Structure 1
Amino acid sequence: MTTLSHLILAGAVTALATVANANEGDPERGAQLAAQGDGSGAPCLACHGADGSGNNAAGFPRLAGLDATYLARQMLAYNNGERVSPVMQPNIDNFDAQQIQDLAAYYAAMPVPATTTSTSVSEEVLALGEKLANQGDWDNYIPPCSSCHGPGNRGVGETFPAIAGQHPNYIRSQLNAWKSNQRNNDPNQLMTAVAERLSEEQINAVAAYLGSQSATAE
């Protein structure tokens, strides 16, 4: 290989490495963005908390410890209209792709809160939720949540997020969004197919059960 060819190849490799690094999130920059916002809306921590634990009463999800690629994909979905939220969209619209990667890296690096959401539902409701989460309802073609979201429903990679310890109000709102086709950015419409078969009673039960579970492995 000629010297010129070596130089061209080296330049190409360097360029690819630069692009790859640019697409990686920087948690320190993400922390600044989370605290400051995009200049046009509220900072992320105003809704999701300084520790990324979210808020059940307001329906704001926990972000801390979720997969970075999953988080980035959801933020981009708000930007391009695949997901709709009157709260999220005005607060995420002005972030560019790199800033979204930085925010995702920041929240993914945060410790997963060990606390669970307290619930006042009955033992019967929690039992129904546990059955749906871990065994499913095969008579009605409803697989268990854990078949995709993994052991303990603590997430599998970048596609299936951790839902154990997630706030019940958020889980409930998202299941209803899948069911009404207001959200449809899942692979192969898996969540839509499941949510459409869930009754209101089942949605409330599985949301309550998952919210009552520890978000960390015991």
Structure 2
Amino acid sequence: MHAKLGLFFLFLSLAAIAPLHAAEPAPPTANATDAASGAPTDAATEAATEAQSSANAGAQIPDTLEQRLLACAACHGKQGEGIAKSEYYPRLAGKPAGYLYNQLRNFQEQRREVPIMTYMVAYMSDDYLREIAAHYARLQPPYPAPAGGYPEQELARGEALVRKGDADKNIPACSACHGKSLTGMEPTIPGLIGLNREYIVAQLGAWKTGHRHGAQPDCMSQIASRLSPRDVAAVSAYLTTQRATADSMPALARSARLPIDCGVVPGASSADPELGIAVPEASGESFGKDGKDSKEPGS
């Protein structure tokens, strides 16, 4: 069953990548988009050739995870490292399994508006989604080199927002939830390093304009709404200058209080001055301590 389903989505997705892949919109004032050029990437071409060769050979397709994930590799790379050439597809590798699972559910239920992804996962079972999420969470391919060349004033504002927030605008520090190293927090908070600047701008723009949603209370939509276009540009610039190592991993969940109510990590307990982040209760979040699913996926 998995083999047939995986092959079915592989051929459909490879055929649909060029016309259907669309960006999650950026703020109107930003020139950046989470976009595709319409031309297949090298990885997409390679994956399509590999799939066609198997079909032409008439061989029985093996029911393996590797075979099923060829469609994912076409855009996100064989190791989930992301592809950044004429278009950008984000890194999946090393993100918490709970976060990845929640995003797949968000695509299914159209909390995130990316038609090709909704199409790809529309009929996948929860077990299938969990298996995909766990696979990419285990991978640790090298991160891209940090970016540079941004104005010092822009980087200073970005660093201030990421590390300290802005009390006057009621904006908490990014590091208060995503960790001091910005590599995320198990089981559902993603890392922020190793991403393309335009992608970060596009995601903040999607939250800001209502094209991306999470479990209520939707903390990222609230935070994004308080960021000015200059703030978005500054945060995205600063994040792309941060260096990651091959073993950069999400921090382990620890008991802490979030600086803002956030549906993706319910059950925050006592405050942790060092980290300022939360651990979900076992019954409240997918991929928690008991491995159970959440009732509502997060952002």
- With the length of structure 2 as denominator, give the TM-score of the two structures: 0.57
After superposition, the C-alpha distances for 1:80-137 in whole angstroms (9 at most, x for unaligned) are 1222102322222232222211111110010153323524422222222111111111
Would you say the 8 A contact 2:97–2:188 is kept in 1? no
Structure 1 residues 31 and 127: CA distance shift in structure 2, 3 A: farther
Partner of 2:80: 52
After superposition, the C-alpha distances for 1:9-44 in whole angstroms (9 at most, x for unaligned) are xxxxxxxxxxxxxxxxxxx94433211xxxxxxx11
- With the length of structure 1 as denominator, give the TM-score of the two structures: 0.76
After superposition, the C-alpha distances for 1:173-209 in whole angstroms (9 at most, x for unaligned) are 1111111121121452211111001011111111121
Specify which structure has the bigger relative contact order, considering alpha-carbon pairs within 8 angstroms and separated by 6 or more residues.
1
Q: Quick one: which of 119, 126, 140 aligns to 1:97?
A: 126
Give identity over the alignment, percent: 36
Alignment of 1:4-153 (within 5 A): 29-35=64-70, 43-56=71-84, 58-153=87-182
After superposition, the C-alpha distances for 1:45-99 in whole angstroms (9 at most, x for unaligned) are 1111122121345342110000111101110110112221023222222322222
Structure 1 residues 92 and 143: CA distance shift in structure 2, 3 A: same
Moved more, 159-168 or 103-112: 159-168
Would you say the 8 A contact 1:59–1:170 is kept in 2? yes
Tell me the amino acid that sits aligned with residue 74 of structure 2: A
Tell me the amino acid that sits aligned with residue 54 of structure 1: G
Cα distance in structure 1, aligned partners of 2:181 and 2:89: 22
Structure with the largest fraction of helix: 1
Is the counterpart of residue 167 in structure 1 residue 167 in structure 2?
Answer: no
Tell me the amino acid that sits aligned with residue 34 of structure 1: L
Q: Structure 1: which 4+ aligned runs deviate by more than 6 Å?
A: none
Structure 2 unmatched runs, 5+: 1-62, 250-299
Cα distance in structure 2, aligned partners of 1:181 and 1:66: 24
Tell me the amino acid that sits aligned with residue 68 of structure 2: L
Tell me the amino acid that sits aligned with residue 32 of structure 1: Q
Would you say the 8 A contact 1:29–1:102 is kept in 2? no
Cα distance in structure 1, aligned partners of 2:73 and 2:97: 17
Structure 1 unmatched runs, 5+: 1-27, 36-42
Matched residue count: 184
